[in-house]
Amino acid sequence: EMGTPRKPIRQLDLPVGLYVQTKSHDTSEIENKMKDIMQLSGILCINGQKYHTEIKDLEHLGELGNGTCGHVVKMLHKPSGTVIAVKQMRRSGNSEENKRIIMDLDVVLKSHDCPYIVKCLGCFITEADVWICMELMATCFDKLLKRLRRPVPENILGKVTLATVRALDYLKESHDVIHRDVKPSNILLDERGNVKLCDFGISGRLVDSKAKTKNAGCAAYMAPERIDPPDPRKPAYDIRADVWSLGITLVELATGVFPYKDCKSDFEVLSRVMQDDPPALPADQNFSPEFQDFVKCCLTKNYKNRPKYKMLLVHEFLKRYEAEDVNVAAWFAQAMNHCEVSAPSISTPTNFLTRRSDQIRLPTFVTSIIAKIQDYLKKIQSFT
């Protein structure tokens, strides 16, 4: 038997959605799609070779983290001697959770020809569990930012942005898919300097280039038109919502500071997104005019004036880093070898009360109790 994959650890972070979830797919349809995918169970393609694999052929090596709907571990594929990442997910009677599993699998399986999307090597599926086997990446930019304790250089972000926009454009043009969860933790980096997009559990299908599901994504990176749709009767949005999320991500990585780090609640974040001027790169930190303008374009509040991927790809900032040779691998190796543990910590949103989209909304009484506990612990610390 496959065994029982460990469930993802739930933390106090921003909820998956801001609205009450509704069923968008019939349960039987989801189950039928799962049965189709089950035909691929146990077939892994590693380094161009196909392996008919059993669970016993995988050796657990360690923990990697949590995704939108699964727990990610590092495992050794013993027949090939290859270390891989495995996202372990528990199937349930919840149609929304099963839909996420199917969406994640569907996108990565279809995107094998895109070098900017993490590669799926295969999957294992039983009546109770789903394991998605993927190429192993070194880290995500969320973890890297915490490790660095300083901003990511502009030239590195040039390559990161180029890869991310190409990945998003590929999803749109090849599969009519919008990611809906662009943020540092979903942008991966390997030791060779390759940048890849991951985690497609809450991606959505585009119909006439529009997405309609309201309850997907991370509120901290959510575009204004998704928070307060111009026409509530038709709350549709397009890929420009992900362009906004990319802009927030770039400000965070380029400055080392999450733009809304001082917010104490979900409501405060959403209010500031709607009422304040968009975040921008500080003028006194020697960012190039091209980079400043690129971020400004991404964070255009009126989505009708915000560029789509094709326009971003011809922006001077991306054209520059398409042509310029930047050794991302060397920078990453040096950064890992020379991280100053004693350096003052920069403000990242890790202590932000509610942030990531891979977490669920907790009942109000639970968050109230936890807030009281946090206040109590602070008082104790003040006496020590």
Residue 255's pLDDT is 97
- Mean pLDDT for all residues in the chain: 81
Which of 57 and 218 is assigned the larger pLDDT?
57
pLDDT > 90 fraction of the chain, expressed in percent and rounded: 52
Residue 373's pLDDT is 55
Does pTM top 0.95 for this prediction?
no
Instruction: Measure the CA–CA gap between 64 and 380, rounded to whole angstroms.
Output: 32
Residue 219's pLDDT is 78
Residue ranges per structural domain of the chain: 34-134, 139-203+219-228+236-335
Q: Which residue has the tokens 């399986």?
A: 109
**Tokens in use for 225?**
């038109």
Residue 321's pLDDT is 97
Q: In 3D, which of 238, 257, 381, 364 has the Cα closest to residue 308?
A: 238
Residue 368's pLDDT is 52
On the question of pLDDT at 341 being above 60, the answer is no
Mean pLDDT of 83-111: 85
Instruction: Measure the CA–CA gap between 382 and 96, rounded to whole angstroms.
Output: 44
Instruction: Measure the CA–CA gap between 285 and 158, rounded to whole angstroms.
Output: 16
Superfamily of domain 139-203+219-228+236-335: Transferase(Phosphotransferase) domain 1 (1.10.510.10)
pLDDT classification of 141: cutoffs 50, 70, 90? very high
β-strands 58-66, 139-140 pairing: unpaired
- Residue ranges of alpha helices (H) inside 256-363 are 266-275, 289-298, 309-313, 316-323, 328-337
pLDDT classification of 377: cutoffs 50, 70, 90? low
**Active site (catalytic) residues:** 181
Of 178-182, 203-207, 225-229, 370-374, which gets the smallest average pLDDT?
370-374
Q: How many CA atoms lie within 13 A of 301 on its CB side?
A: 10
On the question of pLDDT at 329 being above 50, the answer is yes
Of 20-24, 153-157, 276-280, which gets the smallest average pLDDT?
20-24
pLDDT classification of 39: cutoffs 50, 70, 90? confident
Q: Which residue has the tokens 């998605």?
A: 132
Which of 283 and 235 is assigned the larger pLDDT?
283
Of 34-48, 266-280, 329-343, which gets the smallest average pLDDT?
329-343
On the question of pLDDT at 166 being above 80, the answer is yes
On the question of pLDDT at 48 being above 60, the answer is yes
User: Per-residue pLDDT tens for 196-209?
Assistant: 999 887 776 555 45
User: Per-residue pLDDT tens for 279-293?
Assistant: 999 998 999 999 999
Highest-scoring range by mean pLDDT, 80-89, 224-233, 267-276: 80-89
Residue type, 226: R
Instruction: Measure the CA–CA gap between 294 and 274, rounded to whole angstroms.
Output: 21
List Cα–Cα distances, 367 to 66, 272, 358, 363, in angstroms.
Answer: 21, 21, 17, 7
On the question of pLDDT at 233 being above 80, the answer is no
User: Per-residue pLDDT tens for 18-29?
Assistant: 333 444 445 666
Instruction: Measure the CA–CA gap between 232 and 32, rounded to whole angstroms.
Output: 33
Which of 240 and 128 is assigned the larger pLDDT?
240
Q: In 3D, which of 316, 274, 305, 339 has the Cα closest to residue 139?
A: 339
List Cα–Cα distances, 80 to 53, 237, 372, 377, in angstroms.
Answer: 11, 44, 51, 49
Q: How far is CA 120 from the centre of its chain?
A: 16
CATH architecture of 34-134: 2-Layer Sandwich (3.30)
